[in-house]
Amino acid sequence: MTGIKDVAREVEMSTATVSRALRGLPGVSEETRTRVMETARRLGYVPSPSAAGLASGQTRTVAVIVPWVTRWFFAAVVQGAEEVLREHGYDLLLYNLAGDESARHRVFETSLLTKRVDAVLVLSLKPSLDELGRLDKLGRPVTIVGADVPGWATVRIDDEQAARTATQHLLGLGHSRIAYVGGALEGVLDFTAPAARLSGYRSALAEAGLRHDPALEADGEFSVAGGSRAAHDLLERADRPTAIFAASDEMAFGVLRTAREVGLRVPEDLSVIGIDDHEMAEIFDLTTVAQPVHEQGRVAAQQVLTALEGAHWLPEQVLLPTRLVVRRTTRAPGSSAGR
């Protein structure tokens, strides 16, 4: 069986040069690449991915650490990243934590990633100092999606500003009793978005001269079911809110379901706004603050590819824009609201 050494011997080059030429990597002239490819075809050489990895020190694989792969946001980011990686001949190795702290420990604090991947994408988690130290020791490019980590490559939106935009939209319509459905501020996975979005909601109220009411702040668990349960608690109050800002569209969908169940009309009796612009948001006619979810995955993947294929790479902090999308779930409070 013809091996890479046979090709290298035939063209009188090193196996490393032949490997780079066959895999389309930089540092090889077009003339050399053409010569190596033609020789490989003539000799009937079929590249082995594992052998290529040994020769070059690369696995052509990028790890993606995901809190919950079944949730829409994370799945959309992964899809965006996978598209870019596939275009450049890289595979994606998925680590789904499924909300489990022990799984996080296994991935970050053991040798699970060592020699298995060329780069790492971390989704919506802010690694601890110890975890950052372990990632640094890998000697691999790392990009963090959805968290602000100074000195590291990141891709994110301004979560606080997105929440301010949503709350200001409701305030501008004339609402003053605005409830918030978000996520727990403490948990094993240490997300940054829940705290930032709650802060944006509270600061927007303060700027309007309103004090936030802790009784109007509920944990919706960033899920449809959680949003529905939170809305039940809020809408059963005698002094119920005239509007609800849900910190994700999925929670907003749950709010809409509960509003229908308790006999409230949206937006006549209750205004609802979310964040994301989920693929179902238009179907629900949901007013939302859109974020480029798919693009976050693409940009993050391109960052690590640039690091892998370029000689001089500096970690970049990318902040992507959001925008208000007004649909039919928000309006000025009507005469029936608050009764």
Give me the long-range contacts of 2-11 (CB less than 8 A, separation at least 24).
2/43, 2/44, 2/45, 2/46, 3/45, 3/51, 4/45, 4/47, 4/51, 4/52, 4/55, 6/43, 6/45, 7/36, 7/39, 7/40, 7/43, 7/45, 10/39, 10/43, 11/35, 11/36, 11/39
Task: Mark whether 36 and 119 lie in a shared domain.
Answer: no
What confidence score (pLDDT) does residue 111 get?
67
Task: Mark whether 88 and 170 lie in a shared domain.
Answer: no
| CATH number where 11 lies | 1.10.260.40
Task: Mark whether 285 and 248 lie in a shared domain.
Answer: yes
pLDDT tens for residues 79-97?
999 999 999 889 999 999 8
Task: Mark whether 72 and 139 lie in a shared domain.
Answer: yes
The pTM assigned to this predicted structure is 0.81
Residue 208 has pLDDT above 80, yes or no: yes
Give a yes or no: residue 333 inside a domain. no
| CATH number where 149 lies | 3.40.50.2300
Give a yes or no: residue 109 inside a domain. yes
Task: Mark whether 233 and 306 lie in a shared domain.
Answer: no
**Paired tokens of 149:** 């980590």
Give a yes or no: residue 222 inside a domain. yes
Give me the long-range contacts of 156-159 (CB less than 8 A, separation at least 24).
156/296, 156/318, 156/319, 156/320, 157/291, 157/292, 157/296, 157/319, 157/320, 157/321, 157/322, 158/319, 158/322, 159/192, 159/193, 159/196, 159/197, 159/200
Task: Mark whether 88 and 104 lie in a shared domain.
Answer: yes
Domain count, the chain: 3
Residue 339 has pLDDT above 50, yes or no: no
Give a yes or no: residue 70 inside a domain. yes
Give the residue numbers spanning the domain of 29: 4-56
Task: Mark whether 181 and 235 lie in a shared domain.
Answer: yes
Give a yes or no: residue 335 inside a domain. no
Task: Mark whether 240 and 314 lie in a shared domain.
Answer: no
Run of H or E including 318 = strand 317-319
